[in-house]
Amino acid sequence: MLPLPVTFASVRRDSLRRHPGGSRHYRSTRDILLTRARITNLGFLLLAAFAVVSCLVNLAWYFSAPDEDAADGLYAAPRGIWETLPRDRALEELDHLIMVPGHAIWKGASLEARFDEDQWVLEPYQRGGGRIAAFFKHIAEAADLARRDEHSLLVFSGGQTRPASTTTEAESYMRLAHVSDLLPTVSPSSSSSSPTTLRATTENYALDSYQNLLFSVARFHEYTGRYPARITVVGYEMKRRRFTELHRAALRWPATHFAYVGIDADGEDKGVAAARAQEGELQNGYLPYTEDVYGCHGTLLAKRRARNPFLRFHSYYSSAPELGRLFNWCPSRAQGGQTAVYPGPLPWDRMK
């Protein structure tokens, strides 16, 4: 039991005795605060219960509040998603990403129509000059490299960039490779009864060349459960410097684990056409990325928006959570300006 308190009446009489003449002044605040007050066991229990509830509420808020990683988009997919992925264990042995960036959308169905411009969704500048033949050469060369390396995964990359099409660049390239019987497969084991697994897939969200590379790395992880140890890009020769000097460096990917295979178009007037194409690449591709390394400001951002008429967005925040901060990296002036390279940890930091 608590000690018996002094009654309010006694406190009041004592207060009056301290002031001659019967003045109705009370004791100082300090004296009142130090005086024992009446309290019951019930009141004490109520106060204790309130303190416990308050503590529990604060603990619940603390542990349920989103942490810094969640705020940055770093989170794993729910178990219910992973349980629907029947990933062949052989895919875990793949370590070589072979990527083909898309440039147009093939809408044909037969192999014979692959060089028919009317069977492609093209920009005006892409007509003529042997560009369609170059697209197919990219596909065929990458597929050949993949067939020769059993530890590789072929990834066609490119989003649904054209309002006139209901498919993506990547899916159209994959379809053309399929009808051409070019797609590599996983070598079946003697005890395996599962259907043939392709060593080829699509990356359906990239809106520019930087995203072609970054998103294909994420798609590789989504498809195999691991990150690649090597990357080979098959594309235009004129874009070699953009990928090897700028995009690779933006990802801080080691140069010793990166290769580029360049194949340009064979136009009738190759000299003039090649010079015009190289100048276009310099002014519209290479130079803009030297000033905006991650393509997330000004002109390059506007291009991404223009190439996303169907409002698509990727799933890689959950399937490749280690890259979440890199996806979000868009350096401001306070972070070093538009050429500041992402400084955070990356899964391939230990590669040399």
Q: Are 170 and 158 in contact (CB under 8 A)?
A: yes
Q: Is 157 helix (H, G, I), strand (E, B) or coil?
A: strand
- DSSP symbol at 235: E
| CA-based radius of gyration for the chain | 33
pLDDT digits (tens), the chain, 352 positions? 445 454 444 444 554 444 455 445 556 666 655 566 555 666 667 777 888 888 887 776 655 544 444 445 456 667 778 788 888 888 989 999 999 999 999 999 889 989 999 999 998 888 887 889 999 999 999 999 999 999 999 999 999 999 989 999 999 999 999 999 999 998 765 445 566 789 999 999 999 999 999 999 999 999 999 999 999 999 999 999 999 999 999 999 999 999 999 998 876 456 676 788 889 899 999 999 999 999 999 999 999 999 999 999 999 999 999 999 999 999 999 999 999 999 999 999 998 7
What is the Cα 258 distance to its own chain's centre?
A: 20
Do residues 233 and 259 lie in contact, with contact meaning Cβ atoms separated by under 8 Å?
Answer: yes
Contact 105/167 with Cβ under 8 angstroms? yes
C-beta separation of 106 from 119 below 8 A:
yes
C-alpha closest to that of 180 among 144, 152, 216, 155 = 144
